[in-house]
Amino acid sequence: MRYFIKFSYDGSCFHGYQIQPNLRTVQGELEKALSYINGKNRVIVHASGRTDLGVHARMQTATFDLDRNIPLYKLKMAINSNIGDDIHVYSVEIVSSEFHARFSSVSKEYNYYINIGEYDPINRNYVYQYNRPLDIEQLKRNIKYYIGKHDFRSFVSAEDIRENAIREMFDAHIEVDKNIIKFVFVADGFLKYQVRNMVGTLLSICEGKIEDLSIPKILELKDRTTAGRTAPGEGLYLERVNY
């Protein structure tokens, strides 16, 4: 039986999503809980994608197969009873064997939060503490150049050596609420560190380290060294996955 779950987690408590030896990860915690529920037979969890160290998820999704047919409300209760308080499964469904959390998705939304006001120690693990002014109009002018179908190789981690870096960005904009800037990105898929590199590039433009309105040229060059720094992980959230 194949199950599909939606869940959220506090990324500051994990060494990323992907399972790693001797480190606490989201995938590791889920697989441990589900394998116990499955009569100690190992369960492999396939998520919509991986999040990095310190990155949070308001809506992550995953599929997995169980040997046992468990009522949905009991399965949800069992998972949540066997994982820590920093993960919560809030939806469980039965899906067809062809459905896959990653390959069946059509788009994802990531949000990135920056505090341009006073340093906030309470939210230091949840909002990037930039703590200085930014030119909002300049951000709005530049972020729009990410929209469209592009080769995002200039914004891909050097560790990500896959050949295809082409993704379609459906939306990219900012929203401002007092001292908090929210960067919104919606695309058919994202590459390792892509959002953090795109945000870092926008910050570098505002700081005068990269030429204004130069994102089209950076995209064209397909060279990571032409883009800005990688923004910290704590400001990033996987907001939703669409099917």
Per cent of the chain over pLDDT 70 is 98
Confidence of residue 144 (pLDDT cuts 50, 70, 90): very high
CB 110 within 8 A of CB 190: yes
CB 184 within 8 A of CB 174: yes
CB neighbours of residue 26 within 10 Å: 29
Can 160 be counted among the known catalytic residues? Answer: no
Asked whether residue 234 carries a pLDDT value surpassing 70, the answer given is yes
Mean predicted confidence (pLDDT) in 97-106: 97
Rounded Cα gap, residues 178 and 230, in angstroms: 24
Asked whether residue 120 carries a pLDDT value surpassing 80, the answer given is yes
Asked whether residue 161 carries a pLDDT value surpassing 70, the answer given is no
Asked whether residue 98 carries a pLDDT value surpassing 90, the answer given is yes
Name all domains of the chain by residue range, CATH numbers in brackets. 2-95 (3.30.70.580), 107-242 (3.30.70.660)
| Catalytic member of 10, 52, 65, 120 | 52
Per cent of the chain over pLDDT 90 is 94
- Per-residue model confidence (pLDDT) at position 83: 96
pTM: 0.95
DSSP 23: S
CB neighbours of residue 142 within 10 Å: 23
CB 205 within 8 A of CB 142: yes
Q: Is the dihedral of CA 137, 138, 139, 142 positive or negative?
A: positive
**Close Cβ partners of 110 (under 8 Å, ≥ 6 residues apart):** 184, 185, 190, 195, 236, 237, 238, 239
pLDDT digits (tens, 9 = 90+) for 46-88: 999 999 999 999 999 999 999 988 999 999 999 999 999 999 9
Confidence of residue 147 (pLDDT cuts 50, 70, 90): very high
CB neighbours of residue 169 within 10 Å: 21
